[in-house]
C-alpha cells in the first residue's frame, strides 16, 4: 500500500544552510518531521548550489516520514544575481536600477523552464523579461 501524503509544506531555504532554527524549525516541527534528518538531507542535496535561495516542497506522509523536492531558484533572485544588484527597484518599471544581456536572459530562462508554466524557451524568456522589467532591470542586446 502506498503512503498517503498528509501535508505539503513550501519553504525557501539558502542552499546548504538549513538549520532547525526558524523558518525551517517552525514550519516542519509541528508536522512531526525529524529536523536534524531533514537538515542533513537538504544540505547534502544542495551543497553544490551554495549561495542560492532554493524553494523546496516537503511532502509529509501519514507515518511521519517525508520526501522533498528542490526547485530552481526564484526568477527575481537569478535576475538580481545576473545584474549584480542587492535589491530591485522600489518603484517598479519606472525606475531602472540595472540591466542584463539577452544571453543572461536566455540562461535564466533555461534554468527556470522546468518550474515555469511555459512550453518553449521563448515563452520562458518573455516571462522572465516581464519579471525583470517589473524589478527595474532592463534587457540589453
The model's pTM is: 0.83
CA 113-49-98 angle, to 5 degrees, is: 65
- Confidence at residue 1, expressed as pLDDT on a 0 to 100 scale: 55
Q: Which residues of 117-134 are buried (b: 16+ CB within 10 A; e: fewer)?
A: ebeeeeebbebbbebbee
Q: Are 38 and 18 in contact (CB under 8 A)?
A: yes
pLDDT score of 64: 84
Domain topology for 5-70? Ribosomal protein L11, N-terminal domain (3.30.1550)
In the chain, CATH 1.10.10.250 sits at 75-140
Tens of pLDDT along the chain (141 residues) come to: 578 889 999 999 999 999 988 889 999 989 888 999 999 999 999 999 888 899 999 999 988 899 999 999 999 999 999 999 998 888 888 899 999 999 999 999 999 999 988 899 999 999 999 999 999 999 988
DSSP-assigned beta bridge partners for residue 60: 7, 66
Q: Is 97 exposed, middle or buried (0-12, 13-18, 19+ CB in 10 A)?
A: middle
What's residue 22's pLDDT? 87
Q: What is the CATH superfamily name and number for domain 75-140? A: Ribosomal protein L11/L12, C-terminal domain (1.10.10.250)
Sign of CA dihedral 50, 59, 64, 27: positive
> Which regions of the chain carry the CATH code 3.30.1550.10?
5-70
CA 97 to chain centre: 22
Supply the pLDDT for residue 96: 92
Query: 3-state DSSP call for residue 104?
Result: helix
Q: What is the pLDDT of residue 76?
A: 93
Amino acid at each position: 500500500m502506498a503512503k498517503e501524503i498528509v501535508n505539503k509544506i513550501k519553504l525557501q531555504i539558502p542552499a546548504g544552510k538549513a538549520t532547525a532554527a526558524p523558518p525551517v524549525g517552525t514550519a516542519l516541527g509541528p508536522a512531526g518531521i525529524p529536523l536534524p534528518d531533514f537538515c542533513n538531507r537538504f544540505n547534502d542535496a544542495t551543497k553544490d548550489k551554495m549561495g542560492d535561495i532554493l524553494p523546496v516542497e516537503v511532502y509529509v506522509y501519514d507515518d511521519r516520514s517525508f520526501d522533498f523536492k528542490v526547485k530552481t531558484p526564484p526568477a527575481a533572485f537569478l535576475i538580481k544575481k545576473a545584474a549584480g544588484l542587492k535589491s530591485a527597484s522600489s518603484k517598479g518599471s519606472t525606475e531602472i536600477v540595472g540591466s542584463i544581456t539577452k544571453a543572461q536572459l536566455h540562461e535564466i530562462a533555461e534554468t527556470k523552464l522546468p518550474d515555469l508554466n511555459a512550453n518553449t524557451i521563448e515563452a520562458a524568456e518573455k516571462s522572465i523579461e516581464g519579471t525583470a522589467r517589473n524589478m527595474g532591470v532592463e534587457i540589453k542586446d
